[in-house]
Amino acid sequence: MSANSLMKRLRAIQWSWLGLMLLTALCVAVFRETRPVFSGLLLGEMGGLFVIFSMIRQGHLNDNVQGQLLFASGMVGMFARLALIVVIMVIALKFRALFNPYAALVGYALSFVFVIIGMYRYAKNPPDQQG
């Protein structure tokens, strides 16, 4: 797999996520009667933006990090994402009139779905390995 085509796939995932956030923000503005649901979804998607960038940023693509350093980097990322969902849920629960906590959880979980689907499609259709 070439690094260039991988970076294109990662950028596509990032841009599609930003498009989803824009669509959700538009729904917050338009659908006033369901504003807490869309606001909760947007809150979760904002947290999901960190998930997208932390999971698919260039990371260790070219720096040859291996072994314990790679494991430690993954653990730090995992705990940061875990702490973030706790913060999002505390905010959603504290301000229930503004944010639906279930929608916030769904918005956050969607980020993992975007990464998995985007990378699955890349893995099923690998680019030409000669180059």
Q: What would the pLDDT profile of 78-110 be if each residue is shown by its tens digit?
A: 899 999 999 999 999 999 999 999 999 999 999
**Predicted pLDDT of residue 131:** 45
Q: What average pLDDT is seen over the chain?
A: 86
Of residues 23 and 13, more confidence is placed in 23
**Predicted pLDDT of residue 130:** 47
Of residues 121 and 30, more confidence is placed in 30
Q: Which of 115, 118, 121 is nearest to 55 (CA)?
A: 115
